[in-house]
């Protein structure tokens, strides 16, 4: 079994870039300097009594990889350290992290208040799955604290937000929302996908749980799916771990190993994503064809620029431009020669998406309108290429629009 026994270098650092390369390091008896992959489904009990003791929880040990696996544990420890949580639990995808939190913590008769500007599948789970199970769901405008307050009822159990939101980049004041959540004894869950722990630390701002799609910036290279739930030890281990252990939305050890290694370069990549996105936002904001149509929290005229400066340490990689129609958006997207058209974000390559006809196409037009997913909205996830090449591609595509 891997352990940190014999690792005399126990200082994992205090700063994000140091924690990212040091937290969760383990050695097997082979003393390898880079984490191995534990590609196995079960573990050997040295005798029957050990099997009984480990199942009874009297001794710590691996039993079966649906419950624990050393490669997954290493990823979880690094993830927890970076988000500033006591504990992390890995899941097979971001959506399985979100669904697990809902299903493990909510019961029939409970009430969930959710931002109406969240990832399309999150809204689909809330309305399509939770409501079917007798859990009431109220969507509210993300940044409107009075709306959150007014939506809370005696049976409310959870508040769920994504900030900045996909794809509108609207934000909520997490300190104020967590104060409201605590006053009412609720669980505040924050989807931190757009920022990653490098740009925003919701737990330090008062959230109870952070969920991550590791498929996005954490992997960063479009290879694997993964997710994580981060929070206090007791909440995760008493209320969420038994659900994962029994229902099985477990992260594969191969994916955990890829993601554990990816975290090492995340702080560095996020710096470059942010500086490139800032250049793109300024370029589009100054271009005659797109002036006044750019959404990016780093622009001083963004309605929540001050909030972004207060609760984020960088403005992220997502930049949105609003064209007048679907047709215009599609012509622009097709004119790009370098940016890849895909329904993903957080890659080292610049990606472009038309949310209304892809990621948010299963929402009704009313839900899309309410979430700010306008027909002409084009979302960029700016990569880590040389900024000059990204800007040249945008420039030539805008020229083709005329």
Q: Does 323 bind ligand PLP (CB under 6 A)?
A: no
Q: 1: how many CB neighbours lie within 10 A of its CB?
A: 12
Q: Give how many residues touch ligand PLP by CB under 6 A.
A: 12
Q: Does 94 bind ligand PLP (CB under 6 A)?
A: yes
User: Angle 253-263/70-83 helices, nearest 10 degrees?
Assistant: 40
Q: Does 296 bind ligand PLP (CB under 6 A)?
A: no
**Tokens 């004119």 map to which residue?**
335
Q: Provide the minimum distance between the beta carbon of 215 and ligand PLP in the complex, in angstroms, as a whole number.
A: 4
Q: Does 215 bind ligand PLP (CB under 6 A)?
A: yes
Output 200 or 290, the one with its CB closest to ligand PLP: 200
Among 2, 65, 93, 250, binds ligand PLP (CB under 6 A): 93
Tokens of residue 264, six digits: 């090492």
Output 206 or 222, the one with its CB closest to ligand PLP: 222
Q: Provide the minimum distance between the beta carbon of 356 and ligand PLP in the complex, in angstroms, as a whole number.
A: 15
Q: Provide the minimum distance between the beta carbon of 106 and ligand PLP in the complex, in angstroms, as a whole number.
A: 18
Q: Does 220 bind ligand PLP (CB under 6 A)?
A: no
Q: Provide the minimum distance between the beta carbon of 95 and ligand PLP in the complex, in angstroms, as a whole number.
A: 4
Q: Provide the minimum distance between the beta carbon of 195 and ligand PLP in the complex, in angstroms, as a whole number.
A: 10
- Binding residues among 114-143 for ligand PLP as defined by CB under 6 A: 119
Q: Does 276 bind ligand PLP (CB under 6 A)?
A: no
Q: Provide the minimum distance between the beta carbon of 117 and ligand PLP in the complex, in angstroms, as a whole number.
A: 10
Residues 6+ apart with CB under 8 A from 106: 112, 130, 135, 157, 158
Q: Does 225 bind ligand PLP (CB under 6 A)?
A: yes
Q: Does 266 bind ligand PLP (CB under 6 A)?
A: no
Closest residue by Cα to residue 249 from 93, 381, 398, 355: 93
Q: Does 166 bind ligand PLP (CB under 6 A)?
A: yes
Output 36 or 222, the one with its CB closest to ligand PLP: 222
What sign does the CA torsion over 241, 92, 133, 130 have? Answer: positive
**Tokens 């006044």 map to which residue?**
292
Closest residue by Cα to residue 102 from 120, 129, 138: 129
Output 195 or 387, the one with its CB closest to ligand PLP: 195
Output 139 or 227, the one with its CB closest to ligand PLP: 227
- Minimal CB distance to ligand PLP: which residue? 94
Contact residues: ligand PLP, CB under 6 A: 93-95, 119, 162, 166, 191, 193, 213, 215, 225, 227
């Amino acid at each position: 079994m891997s352990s940190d026994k014999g690792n005399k270098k126990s200082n994992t650092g205090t700063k994000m870039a140091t924690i990212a390369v040091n937290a969760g390091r383990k050695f097997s008896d082979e003393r390898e300097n880079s984490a191995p992959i534990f590609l196995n489904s079960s573990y050997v009990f040295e005798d029957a009594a050990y099997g009984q003791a480990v199942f009874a929880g009297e001794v710590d040990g691996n039993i079966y990889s649906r419950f624990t696996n050393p490669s997954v544990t290493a990823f979880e420890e690094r993830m927890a350290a970076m988000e500033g949580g006591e504990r992390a639990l890995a899941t097979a995808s971001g959506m399985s992290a979100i669904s697990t939190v809902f299903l493990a913590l909510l019961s029939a008769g409970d009430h969930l208040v959710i931002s109406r500007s969240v990832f399309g599948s999150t809204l689909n789970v809330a309305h399509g799955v939770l409501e079917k199970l007798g859990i009431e769901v109220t969507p509210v405008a993300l940044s409107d604290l009075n709306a959150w307050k007014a939506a809370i009822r005696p049976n409310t159990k959870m508040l769920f937000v994504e900030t900045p939101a996909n794809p509108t980049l609207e934000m909520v004041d997490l300190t104020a929302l967590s104060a409201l959540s605590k006053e009412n004894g609720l669980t505040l869950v924050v989807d931190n996908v757009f920022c990653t722990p490098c740009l925003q630390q919701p737990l330090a701002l008062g959230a109870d749980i952070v969920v991550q799609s590791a498929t996005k910036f954490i992997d960063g290279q479009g290879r694997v799916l993964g997710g994580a739930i981060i929070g206090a030890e007791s909440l995760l281990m008493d209320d969420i771990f038994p659900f994962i252990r029994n229902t099985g939305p477990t992260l594969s050890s191969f994916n955990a190993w890829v993601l554990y290694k990816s975290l090492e370069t995340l702080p560095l990549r996020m710096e470059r994503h942010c500086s490139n996105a800032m250049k793109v936002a300024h370029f589009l904001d100054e271009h005659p064809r797109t002036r006044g149509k750019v959404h990016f929290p780093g622009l001083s005229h963004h309605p929540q620029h001050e909030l972004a400066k207060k609760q984020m340490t960088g403005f992220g990689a997502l930049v949105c431009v609003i064209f007048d129609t679907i047709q215009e958006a599609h012509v622009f997207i097709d004119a790009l020669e370098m940016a890849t058209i895909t329904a993903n974000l957080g890659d080292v390559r610049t990606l472009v998406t038309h949310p209304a006809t892809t990621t948010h196409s299963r929402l009704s037009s009313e839900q899309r309108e309410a979430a700010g997913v306008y027909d002409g909205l084009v979302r960029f996830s700016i990569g880590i290429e040389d900024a000059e090449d990204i800007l040249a591609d945008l420039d030539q595509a805008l020229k083709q629009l005329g």
